[in-house]
Chain A
């Protein structure tokens, strides 16, 4: 007869199981190793470029190799993992790439930590300023730590077809007009919930609030990182109130409580479920809304100048940049790549203005103003005239640069704004909690 037994062998087996568990769990802990100095070689070397995007066309990279003798190994890592990798590699002082992403929101943090080489060391960044309006977003402590390669800024997109059906032919120029138009679209039954706000607790919610605050003429933090939104009459407070009220009054679909920015673009705006997104991303009309395979609103969505407090407002930038981590093996070669990668000619090619073969599918909008203008002139950019005008006037989210503690602050922003939208806290409580986080972090 089989039997179940307990005793020393069983204890030993259990011990082994528990030890195994310990090993499994402990295996997640971090490792560290020493870093290495970079080589100044720029010929016959292979550099690793890690970005959260598919590789550019092979022919383009091959042409770069032919010009410079530098081979490029492209690594595509999703954005979150890439940020983790940057932190882990820099902390452990290990090499993982020669050129990688510098996100605008981490510029303060990365600048303070000194994890990236100042680009001024390799490129004449001063001469770039006029044609790269978003370079300011990558400047911290007077040093440029990344070069914007893709101009991203927040814009208002409107399904003009749905607006027209509701009898709206003149686009709103103030937030009040915009809100009234939304109510009209809703009242006429054109869209049950016409406004897209991605209320899931993620970065997209924070940037939406920044853009709305900017549109109302305000700023989130001052030069010293002190919160500027605590007063109920401040633009930041009003922006939060407007967003949460839009949710509570049904202008925003109830399901948006758990919709991210990209989800909202793809499943609501591109499908004609909502009529507008107040803080959308530049370039989406051409890359998503006008693509028949992924959109049912082709040629119906337009960029409009962002409605503000008393008239149209400037757009806030959230560009992608590329820089050289301190553990790079070939920083000089990486700098040559960045110079080529962010050049006007290359950006025009990537945008598809010079033919599909040279186009880079992952590319939305050039960061060089002259490249955007050239594309607009050639008629290769949907909404090109509006976009180049908006890009020229775009402003950084934080005039003094993103603070070093930005990620922690943003986490507080999206967690509490989400909480206010869910109803687990009031707008006032959410704002106080966010302000308290900022005050605590600013010191």
Chain B
């Protein structure tokens, strides 16, 4: 095997056959790396690594350890409780109810944002007049803080002066005084989640759109020549090739919906009809100051998020080589 090939492939030269250092050219072999060049990649990565370790891994480790302790400044000292925090959480009706609400948020939110994301991505895939403007408008809900969206939609859902009731009344679909939030649990959760879907769908659409941008047109042309219709092309070309983007979109939707806080809190307060697990984490940690249980609940949310994300990635993700 020629030497250059070995060098190219490994970036290193075997010690036994290493050429002696020469003063000047006349040799095409790459020069030895200086110490600085060897260290440089590590130096460049170091800030990011320190950032991740300091702000993610260390707090995560801290959270895991503290979740097995009673940490409550109102009830000192901090002491080991084993799985005590977890058993208390599972015996807490508000937490159990919040898990059930959150499960619904995840199912509806992930499914709807993915389907809508695919639809928007399909529409935006081809160039057309005003496409850039449409993308900019599409991004807006994603760019708005959840609290602002909550306040905005509070006005829309308002029983007395809200737009939804007004439209429904105009269309003779309802009497115009329907209580949309807070009365019926299923309706409340659905409407709250629709507001979140409105927020997270733009990112899903952009992620899927990015995946679709690399699909060559020749594939569709070849498929068309082979008699493939639009629907079949979508199922057999578009969807399989968009799977990496769809998987990432679904994972981000899973994280967002499992951690939903702003929308239920602003739209429905602390009512059990819509409270999410992150709301309960907030109440337990910062209202009750029971940080041990707060850590435990955060850890549970983390584990659930990881498991669901793992399933989504395993089922949906496929590597695409074009």
**Chain A residues in contact with chain B, CB under 8 A?**
2-7, 9-10, 13-14, 17-18, 21-32, 83-84, 87-88, 90-91, 109, 112-113, 199-202, 253-258, 260, 263, 267-268, 271, 273, 404-405, 407-408, 411, 414-415, 418-419, 422, 424
CB distance A83 to B309 under 8 Å? Answer: no
Interface string of B68-94 (1 = CB under 8 A from A): 000001100000000000000000001
Contacts of B58 in A (CB 8 A): 31
Tell me the dominant secondary structure on chain A's binding face: helix
- Least distance between A215 CB and chain B CB atoms (Å): 24
Closest to B214 in A: A2
- Least distance between A7 CB and chain B CB atoms (Å): 8
Q: CA A257 – CA B180 in complex, angstroms?
A: 10
CB distance B322 to A2 under 8 Å? Answer: yes
Contacts of A7 in B (CB 8 A): 319
Given contacts A2-B322, A3-B321, A422-B273, contact A25 B301 (CB under 8 A): yes
Interface residues of B in 160-192 (CB under 8 A from A): 160-161, 177, 179-183
Given contacts A2-B215, A22-B306, A419-B272, 12 further A-B contacts (CB under 8 A): A2-B321, A10-B319, A14-B314, A21-B255, A24-B56, A25-B255, A26-B59, A253-B160, A258-B179, A273-B160, A404-B74, A415-B272
Contacts of B306 in A (CB 8 A): 18, 21-22, 25
Interface residues of B in 288-322 (CB under 8 A from A): 288-289, 291, 295, 298, 301-302, 305-306, 309-310, 313-314, 317-322
Q: CA A286 – CA B252 in complex, angstroms?
A: 47
CB distance B73 to A113 under 8 Å? Answer: yes
Contacts of B179 in A (CB 8 A): 254-255, 257-258
CB distance B305 to A21 under 8 Å? Answer: yes
Q: CA A209 – CA B283 in complex, angstroms?
A: 21
- Least distance between B187 CB and chain A CB atoms (Å): 11
CB distance A408 to B271 under 8 Å? Answer: no
Cβ-based interface call for B269 (8 A): yes
Q: Which of A21, A26, A260, A419 has the most CB of B within 10 A?
A: A26
Interface string of B252-292 (1 = CB under 8 A from A): 00010001000000011111110000000011001111010
Between-chain CB contacts (< 8 Å), 20 pairs: A2-B320, A4-B318, A5-B320, A13-B317, A23-B52, A25-B302, A25-B305, A29-B60, A29-B298, A88-B286, A201-B271, A201-B272, A253-B160, A257-B179, A257-B182, A260-B269, A271-B161, A415-B272, A419-B271, A422-B182
Closest to A2 in B: B322
Given contacts A4-B319, A91-B73, contact A411 B243 (CB under 8 A): no
Which of A18, A112, A258, A411 is in CB contact (< 8 Å) with B310? A18
- Least distance between B250 CB and chain A CB atoms (Å): 11
Q: Which of B62, B291, B309 has the most CB of A within 10 A?
A: B309
CB distance B313 to A17 under 8 Å? Answer: yes
CB distance B60 to A26 under 8 Å? Answer: yes
Contacts of B313 in A (CB 8 A): 14, 17-18
Contacts of A253 in B (CB 8 A): 159-160
CB distance A91 to B268 under 8 Å? Answer: no
- Least distance between A255 CB and chain B CB atoms (Å): 2
CB distance B160 to A405 under 8 Å? Answer: no
Q: CA A256 – CA B158 in complex, angstroms?
A: 9
Contacts of A199 in B (CB 8 A): 182
Cβ-based interface call for B55 (8 A): yes
Closest to B282 in A: A84
Which of A31, A268, A407, A419 is in CB contact (< 8 Å) with B288? A407
Q: CA A210 – CA B215 in complex, angstroms?
A: 64
CB distance B251 to A21 under 8 Å? Answer: yes
Contacts of A24 in B (CB 8 A): 56, 255
- Least distance between A326 CB and chain B CB atoms (Å): 12
Closest to B273 in A: A422
Closest to B248 in A: A17
Cβ-based interface call for B247 (8 A): yes
- Least distance between B151 CB and chain A CB atoms (Å): 10
Which of B62, B271, B302, B305 is in CB contact (< 8 Å) with A30? B62
Given contacts A2-B241, A22-B302, A30-B63, contact A267 B161 (CB under 8 A): yes
Interface residues of B in 124-178 (CB under 8 A from A): 154, 157-161, 177
Q: CA A51 – CA B270 in complex, angstroms?
A: 24
Which of B73, B272, B286, B321 is in CB contact (< 8 Å) with A84? B286
Q: CA A5 – CA B317 in complex, angstroms?
A: 10
Closest to A31 in B: B59
Contacts of A256 in B (CB 8 A): 159
CB distance A6 to B309 under 8 Å? Answer: no
Cβ-based interface call for B219 (8 A): yes
CB distance B56 to A4 under 8 Å? Answer: no
Q: CA A47 – CA B273 in complex, angstroms?
A: 43
Q: CA A353 – CA B288 in complex, angstroms?
A: 41
CB distance B301 to A4 under 8 Å? Answer: no
- Least distance between A345 CB and chain B CB atoms (Å): 37
Q: Which of A88, A113, A254, A422 has the most CB of B within 10 A?
A: A422
Interface residues of B in 84-108 (CB under 8 A from A): 94
Given contacts A25-B255, A113-B73, A257-B183, contact A10 B318 (CB under 8 A): yes
- Least distance between A411 CB and chain B CB atoms (Å): 6
CB distance B63 to A254 under 8 Å? Answer: no
Closest to B244 in A: A13
CB distance A29 to B321 under 8 Å? Answer: no
Closest to A274 in B: B160
- Least distance between B190 CB and chain A CB atoms (Å): 15
CB distance A258 to B182 under 8 Å? Answer: yes
Q: CA A84 – CA B74 in complex, angstroms?
A: 16
Which of A3, A22, A28, A88 is in CB contact (< 8 Å) with B298? A28
Contacts of A13 in B (CB 8 A): 317, 319
Closest to A200 in B: B269
- Least distance between A410 CB and chain B CB atoms (Å): 8
Contacts of A27 in B (CB 8 A): 55-56, 59-60
Closest to A112 in B: B74
- Least distance between B286 CB and chain A CB atoms (Å): 5
- Least distance between B40 CB and chain A CB atoms (Å): 23
Q: Which of B158, B180, B289, B306 has the most CB of A within 10 A?
A: B289
Contacts of B56 in A (CB 8 A): 22-24, 26-27
Closest to B237 in A: A2
Interface string of B40-71 (1 = CB under 8 A from A): 00000000000010011111101100000000
Contacts of B282 in A (CB 8 A): 84
Q: CA A5 – CA B247 in complex, angstroms?
A: 15
Contacts of B73 in A (CB 8 A): 90-91, 113
Closest to A264 in B: B160
Contacts of B177 in A (CB 8 A): 254-255
Q: CA A14 – CA B251 in complex, angstroms?
A: 11
Q: CA A32 – CA B321 in complex, angstroms?
A: 45
